[in-house]
Amino acid sequence: MAICSAIHKYGIHNFSLYILEVIATDKSVKYLSEREDYWYNIINPSYNIQTIIKPFTGINHYRYGKKVSEAIKFKISNTLKGRERSEVVKLNHVLGARKKKVYCFDWETSNLLMEFEGIRIMERAVNKSTYYIRETLDKDKPFFCNINNINYKMFLKSSLFLIQALIEEK
């Protein structure tokens, strides 16, 4: 980060930290973003951490509101056409390179219902967001989904070892 280099170069004593506004914790993320934008537009800081907090989303994306010209689209398209990818690369795109297995257990009986090779694979199979899967994975929260018109209430684990303690508790 640029600020780290600057602090190292100029020394911490040449920098100040100010709390501009205190906001209640029950406010929405949208409200917090609005306030952050408000102060950013007033101060226009040279060392901004905004892109670190919410990278590449909505109005924080560096190209938000900008149009890509047809010429640029054509160049990108031509560059990607005919590109040969190895079978390993293709398989990693399908499966997800950083796979975390997901074991699905019945909420009531703790029986293993199904397992998935990765979160993205489960996302496609159960039609639920990656965020929802991650929020319930390895936590004592129920995961609700409908597969082939059957409603499931499950708990999700990333390891079979984690389930042993849970079964012993029940």
Chain segment 22-61, per-residue pLDDT in tens: 888 777 777 777 787 787 778 777 776 554 455 455 666 6
How many Å apart are CA 90 and CA 81, to the nearest integer? 15
pTM (global) more than 0.85: no
pLDDT at 33: 74
3-class DSSP string for the chain: CHHHHHHHHHCHHHCCCCCCCCCCCCCCHHHHHHHHHHHHHHHCCCCCCHHHHCCCCHHHCCCCCCCCCHHHHHHHHHHHCCCCCCHHHHHHHHHCCCCCCEEEEECCCCCEEEEECCHHHHHHHHCCCHHHHHHHECCCCCEEEEECCEEEEEEEECCHHHHHHHHHHC
pLDDT at 16: 82
pLDDT at 144: 93
Residues of the chain with pLDDT under 50: 51-52, 55
pLDDT at 52: 45
